[in-house]
Amino acid sequence: MKEKNKIKKKNKDKYELRKQMLFKLMQEKMYVPMKEKELAVMLQVSKKDREELHKILEELLKEGRIELSKRGRYSVADDPEPEISTVVGTYEKSKNHYGFVIPDNSRLTRDIFIPVERSMGAVDGHKVVVEITDQGSKYKSPEGRITEILGHENDPGVDILSIIKGYDLPVEFSEKVLKQAEKVPDKVSASDISGRLDLRDLRMVTIDSEDAKDLDDAVSVYKDGEDYVLGVHIADVTHYVQEHSALDKEALKRGTSVYLVDRVLPMLPHRLSNGICSLNGNVDRLALSCIMTFDKSGRLLKHEIAESVINTDRRMTYTAVNGIIEEHDSELMEEYSELVPMFLLMKELADILSKKRRKRGAIDFDLPETRITLDDSGRPVDIGPYERNSATRLIEEFMLAANETIAEHFCSKGIPFVYRIHENPEQDKIGKLELFIRNFGYNLKVKKDEVHPGEIQKLLEKIKGTPQEALISSLALRSMQRARYSTECAGHFGLACRYYCHFTSPIRRYPDLQIHRIIKESLHGKLKDERIAHYNKILNDVAKRSSSRERIAEEAERETDKLKKVEYMQEHLGEVFEGVISGVTAWGIYVELPNTVEGLVHISKIEGDYFIFDENKYELRGERTNRRYVLGQNVRVRVSSVDMALRVVDFVLDR
């Protein structure tokens, strides 16, 4: 009898665990509302266990924790469908002279009814934009009219265009904005130069990627005795984009340039961003210069902020500069012989500044970004990490120095400004991180429920080169808050500094453009009571709007990357790859490949055991075999399937 009770209790525990696992699955951001059959397929529920799945779903419905849509899809009850005015989706024509649009947004679980007279002649497979005319009800589908046909879902570029429209990202500039841009001169005039600091004889360069077209920052370095004089010269965009103008309003509305996998949606028209506002080589350009003098320990001795006129000597690339300062490539050193001494000085200063920044505790998450190469038809032909090198780090150090110097200068003046802030991590997340790393013999010093960024940087240095590096780095990054714009000078946790702003990219970020305007007014003594009141009135909205537009841009960029990654892996079905476990959940493990593609190994596809999820250790553990899968673990996987609609890649473990 005791043995029977044990078995009964064990079965009950398994049932409750499966119930909790299913509910957790639906709570995840990645979850797409599914029908019962789809859940069974995804969870690899055997036919004999389908009745148990149905019973679990019924119980969760009765408990009010989940809900069932009219289309028979299950989702968390407290996560209502968003009501939006326009929807992007795929048109399906019915035989009965009407059609439906299946939304791309997986949170929209109901198809949209389209009367034939409102279909614009769309055919099966057309990607369309729909204006919702009737939100519908519990018993009636939403209704809409097609306002734009983007093209067939298989046409080149339509996939990305659908994402652009789905995020409501502006593509074209209005005629009014373009006309205003056309009036901007092609060349710097004598009257523009008048009264500016003339730096045209100062040796300086731009250093960017090979494909960059909007060059908004130039740098110069020379020695003054034992001291280094660093000049960061930023395009004076506000000279051409006046406050309240059509150009300014459009830039504020967009907030940022959006860098998608196959195109750029610029904040400003190309006539400005690639023309008069781009610091092209050997032409006069207007700039805002921050000239800083550092001693040999990296201490800032003095600085000057000035409106300037510059003329860059060369348009350099990261590859070429890295070849000079790291590889001492003889051909490159000969080609750029007149600039080599300056590049070597730049490397010296960048190393000094980096050492000083690390000493104060700044965190350096050296995580590679994704580089995706497309062919002429928009198909991905290569995917891999975009590696930073000494040249990219050099420019990062110089931009950080300028951003800090500008922020401290204007914070000390107490005038309205827009800062870039990064708040302290939440206590519970740091607590979980501290608890987890103890398993590996590491610890974080936490005082009064707060941690200094230097403690996290020390941890990253300790784990460098160890098997746990990827695991702990990933968790440390996840414990951080999101940086944002604010009118409060609240400091930057990740950089371990009290003062920080975005000053260096006014072509592609509105906050930079906004503070340039304030800086120039301050330089000219025009920040009187009336203007201060004006900025106090508008800057909170500028900061909030810019933070919001930045998040939308990041999401759209990630979505296009995911789309092309899935499309790329479609050509590699059945192939085996080495990877690292990048996520552990109750329903399986996420594995990231060296090319940055991430996919899921579903728990049902890990054969030979029943697995238990330990959320405190981020671990799946076999109940019978004690086999474990944890973050950072190396595994071999085979690509089993891809889903273009959901943009997911499925792996199975390869033995």
Read off the pLDDT of each residue in 371-394 and give the average, rounded to a whole number: 90
204, 214 Cβ separation under 8 angstroms: no
The DSSP element (H or E) to which 180 belongs, if any, is helix 175-182
Strands 314-317 and 86-93: unpaired
Domains, in order of start, for the chain: 13-76 (1.10.10), 86-155 (2.40.50.700), 175-423+484-563 (no CATH), 427-478 (no CATH), 573-653 (2.40.50.140)
Read off the pLDDT of each residue in 416-424 and give the average, rounded to a whole number: 95
Cα dihedral 456→462→463→464 (10° resolution): 110
Read off the pLDDT of each residue in 547-560 and give the average, rounded to a whole number: 94
On the question of pLDDT at 83 being above 70, the answer is no
On the question of pLDDT at 594 being above 60, the answer is yes
For 603-618, the pLDDT digits (tens) are: 878 877 778 887 777 7
510, 252 Cβ separation under 8 angstroms: yes
Among candidate residues 91, 115, 116, 109, the one with its CA nearest the CA of residue 101 = 91
Rounded to whole angstroms, the Cα distance separating 143 from 114 reads: 6
Q: Which positions ≥6 away from 253 have C-beta within 8 Å?
A: 170
Q: How many CB atoms are located within 10 Å of the residue 573 CB?
A: 13
Whole-number percent of the chain with pLDDT over 70: 95
**Average pLDDT for the chain:** 89
Read off the pLDDT of each residue in 468-482 and give the average, rounded to a whole number: 80
Q: Which positions ≥6 away from 9 have C-beta within 8 Å?
A: none
Q: What is the pLDDT of residue 51?
A: 87
On the question of pLDDT at 363 being above 90, the answer is no
Residue type, 538: I
Rounded to whole angstroms, the Cα distance separating 21 from 13 reads: 12
For 20-36, the pLDDT digits (tens) are: 778 877 877 667 778 88
Q: How many CB atoms are located within 10 Å of the residue 260 CB?
A: 20
Task: Retrieve residue 117's tokens.
Answer: 């007279």
Q: Which positions ≥6 away from 95 have C-beta within 8 Å?
A: none
500, 403 Cβ separation under 8 angstroms: yes
For 134-173, the pLDDT digits (tens) are: 887 767 788 999 999 999 988 888 999 999 999 999 999 9
pLDDT category at 502 given cuts 50, 70, 90 is: very high
Whole-number percent of the chain with pLDDT over 90: 58
Read off the pLDDT of each residue in 277-291 and give the average, rounded to a whole number: 96
Q: What is the pLDDT of residue 345?
A: 97
204, 310 Cβ separation under 8 angstroms: yes
